[in-house]
Amino acid sequence: GENVEQHPSTLSVQEGDSAVIKCTYSDSASNYFPWYKQELGKGPQLIIDIRSNVGEKKDQRIAVTLNKTAKHFSLHITETQPEDSAVYFCAASNRGSGNTGKLIFGQGTTLQVKP
């Protein structure tokens, strides 16, 4: 079955610096790669996603890149702020007709942004 590996497990940066989180996936049929942010005691919230027909997507300070050949994708957060501190999860799925669309998650990265 699909397996998603995520690194690093913890990441500490100074406010204003950039943060990068990387994931690899095993199922070459995966075509949808979302990133979720989870704050303490809350449910995961989608922050950005990318589909396999594009290589990069950007939304303000957040960007995601996808390398289908190498089967890895990354989350980039620029100009980090203390409110970016949270646990971030990558996920992969095969979405489309005849597929369940279930997400397989990475293990999570705890990001700490120091003021």
Partner 1 sequence: NAGVMQNPRHLVRRRGQEARLRCSPMKGHSHVYWYRQLPEEGLKFMVYLQKENIIDESGMPKERFSAEFPKEGPSILRIQQVVRGDSAAYFCASSMNTGELFFGEGSRLTVL
Other CB atoms within 10 Å distance of the CB of residue 10: 10
Q: How far apart are CA 57 and CA 76, in angstroms?
A: 10
Residue 105 binds to partner 1 (criterion: CB under 8 A) = yes
Residue 37 binds to partner 1 (criterion: CB under 8 A) = no
Q: Smaller CB distance to partner 1: residue 46 or 54?
A: 46
Residue 27 binds to partner 1 (criterion: CB under 8 A) = no
CA dihedral of 36, 2, 57, 15, whole degrees rounded to 10: 40
Residue 45 binds to partner 1 (criterion: CB under 8 A) = yes
Q: Find residue 4's DSSP bridge partners.
A: 25
- Options 18-26, 55-63, 68-76, 88-96: segment touching partner 1 (CB under 8 A): 88-96
